[in-house]
Every structure is written in structure tokens, then in C-alpha cells.
Amino acid sequence: MSPTSGRFPVPPVDDRPLYDLRQSKTLASVLTLAQEIGLFEYLAERPATRRELARHYQVIPRAAEAIVAVAAAAGYLQNCAAEKIALTDLGRTYLLRASPFYSEIEPDSETHYELLKEAFYRGDDEDSGKRLAVELGDKSEAEIKDFIDLMHRLTLPAAGGLARQHIFERIGKLLDVAAGSGSLAAAIADYNPHIRCTLLDFAPVCALARKNIASFGLEEQISTVAADMFCDPWPAGHDALLFGNIFHDWDVESCLQLARNAYEVLEPGGYILLHEMPLNESRDGPLCVACFSASMLIFEKGKQYTLSEFEALLSQAGFVDFHSVPSYGYYHLISARRM
């Protein structure tokens, strides 16, 4: 499949090196925190599960999971029997204080480190004042614009890779839930002229999306609906619903509510589509994706889910025929079908 109009920009190379660079400060912050709380000394004495670590440090499970995922992806921890985590030779040699080769890690950004440390000990229900997507409806118009502009720059490169997936050949009407800048829908519409897209988001976000859609000359294919995806009804009559970078912002119960809402409004045989960067099944990489889970501690209520976790969520909501295909960079297009 090739672009029909050439209106939507497609980069000649993928952006994984840039994502790796952006997350480098998260790696340094996580390792600094792990040293400060004595994680490597604790695991040198006894391998432990992620839940055992959460109980030991009196933190929520996703906090322990995120720290372990980053340290494991970087090569300092490893999975072993009975879902336990142990030190690797690399971790034992360079990150244990008792080692003659011990090296103290320092954060690239003291501010980022303090945010991560605060988030590590914070519960999911505590108000941090730092959350972005999950509290977008409470932000000022200026704050919303800054956030949507940032997300537009981050998602624009991947949009073309998403749009070229063959599943869109079978879709006629697409609802993009929490669509943000509209970058994903714009690429899908440009590559697939038979598709009509509806973007659902808060009113100020829809206003920004319409400007982007107009810049690509796609107003006839894409419309907007102002709504809160958790509180307001969704428009029906679509044979596919897209969530781009949405589930990773939210806890499991919120994701399950979104999946159930999608099932209710989809046409029979319609598809739910998730565009996400999944963590691998052993939850120890890729490093960039693991670092995103640590970032979610600071800024949102979710984490980077594994493909099996996505499948369990969608199956619980009633969906069948779960599939996942790499789409661009670290992204996968995850799909499942309503009966």
C-alpha cells in the first residue's frame, strides 16, 4: 500500500534512536534510586518476586515492576525460577557496595530523579499534580495545547507505519478515541481514502486537531466529536475503534472500562485497535519501553503492558481473535474483534 495523496509526511528512517536518547535520563534516575533504596543488596541476599519487592518497600506493585523492568533491561537484574528476580554478574560486580568495582550512579537530572523518587513511594490514588493525559480535562487551554503539541511531535513519525497496516483495508468507519492531535487518523485517512474517521476528545483538543486535519487537507474524511471518554456517550456505527497511546496511561480497571465501552458501541464483527509499545513477556525489555513504564509512574496512572496483559484485558471485555503486528519503531498494532 502506498500513500494516496502524499499529504502526510513519512520519515525515511524510524525514530528508535531518538526514543532511546529521550529515555536515557530515566535509566540513570532508576539506577540511582535502586542504589539508594538498597535494591541490589537486598537481591544479593535473596532473589524475590516483584510483589515481594513491592511489599518490602511498601510501594504499589507497578512501582516495583517499573524499577525492576528498567534494571533488568539494562542488564543488572535477571528473571529466574518462580518469577523471582536476581542479580546478574554485571549487577553484582558493579552495583553492589561491597564489590571492589562498585560504581555509584548519578542522575542526569536531579529534578527528574526527585520526581521519580516521589512517584515510587506515591500511591495510585494520591494527587501528584504532575499527571498529564489522565488529568487533561482539568488543564488550562495553554497547558492542553503544550501537551497536544508535544504528543503530535512524538506520534507523527509512527503514524505512517500504522496507516499502512492491512487491517485498514477492511475498515470503513473508524472512531479514534482520545485522538489528541489527530495525527494517527490523518495518516490512516491519507493512506486509505475509503475510510471515514471520527475523532473523540475534549473540546479544546478537538479544536487543535481540526487545525492539523485542515493542514493535511483531510477535512472531508475526518470529523470531530467533543466528549469525555469516561463520562460521555460515544458515537455508534463504526466498524473499528482506535486507541493510540491510551491504555498505557491508565490502570487495568480503567482500561477494562474503555474496552467494554468499545465493545458496546462497535458494530458486530468490528475491531478494537490499540497502538502501543508493549513490554516483552518477561518484563525485562526493550530498555526504552521499560523506561516508559518508569515515566508512567511520574506522569500517569498506567504502565507499559505486555501483549498477554493486553490480550487478557480485551478477552475479559468480550473480544476475540487477538493479534499483534509491529507497525513502526517500538510500536505494535494490537487488534481484536467483537463477536
> What CATH number does the domain containing 192 carry?
3.40.50.150
Global pTM reads 0.95
Which of 9-18, 96-105, 280-289 is least confident? 9-18
All 3 cell numbers of residue 219?
477535512
pLDDT digits (tens, 9 = 90+) for 290-301: 999 999 999 999
Query: Any idea how long the chain is?
Result: 339
Mean pLDDT of 96-102: 97
Q: Do 116 and 143 lie in a common domain?
A: no
For the segment 37-63, what is each residue's pLDDT rounded down to a tens digit?
999 999 999 999 999 999 999 999 999
DSSP 133-177: GGGGGGS-HHHHHHHHHHHHHHHHHHHHHHHT-GGGGG-SEEEEE
- Residue 171: is its pLDDT beyond 60? yes
Domain match, 101 and 139 both? no
In a 3-state reduction of DSSP, which class is residue 279? strand
Please give the residue that has the higher pLDDT: either 6 or 161: 161
Within this chain, do residues 104 and 147 fall inside the same structural domain, yes or no? no
Is residue 178 a part of any domain in this protein?
A: yes
Sign of the dihedral through C-alpha 302, 303, 309, 310:
positive
Instruction: Give the whole-angstrom CA distance, residue 264 versus residue 327.
Output: 27
- The tally of domains found in the chain comes to 2
Per-chain mean pLDDT for the chain: 95
**Tens of pLDDT, residues 186-231:** 999 999 999 999 999 999 999 999 999 999 999 999 999 999 999 9
**Residue 144: alpha-carbon gap to chain centroid:** 19
Those residues whose C-beta lies under 8 Å from the C-beta of residue 269, and which sit 6 or more positions away, are 239, 337, 338, 339
Res 8 pLDDT > 80: no
Peptide bond into 107 cis (omega under 30): no
Q: Are residues 263 and 317 part of one domain?
A: yes
Q: Is 57 contained in some domain?
A: yes
Residues 149 and 90 occupy one common structural domain: no
Q: State the distance between the two ends of the chain, measured CA to CA, in whole angstroms.
A: 28
Are residues 28 and 171 in contact, defined by beta-carbon separation less than 8 angstroms?
A: no
For residue 131, what pLDDT is reported?
A: 85
Does 2 fall in a domain?
no
List the CATH number of the domain containing 49. 1.10.10.10
Q: Is 306 helix (H, G, I), strand (E, B) or coil?
A: strand
**242-268: buried (b, 16+ CB within 10 Å) or exposed (e) per residue?**
bbbbbbbbbbbebbbebbebbbebbee
Pairing of strands 196-201, 173-177: parallel
Q: Where is the domain boundary, 87, 121, 155? A: 121
Percentage of residues in the chain with pLDDT exceeding 90? 92
SS3 for 214? helix
Does 216 share its domain with 178? yes
Q: Is there a single domain that holds both residue 172 and residue 274?
A: yes
Q: Which domain holds residue 78?
A: 16-121
Q: Are residues 202 and 321 in the same domain?
A: yes
- The answer to whether residues 166 and 107 belong to one domain is no
- Position 3 scores a pLDDT of 47
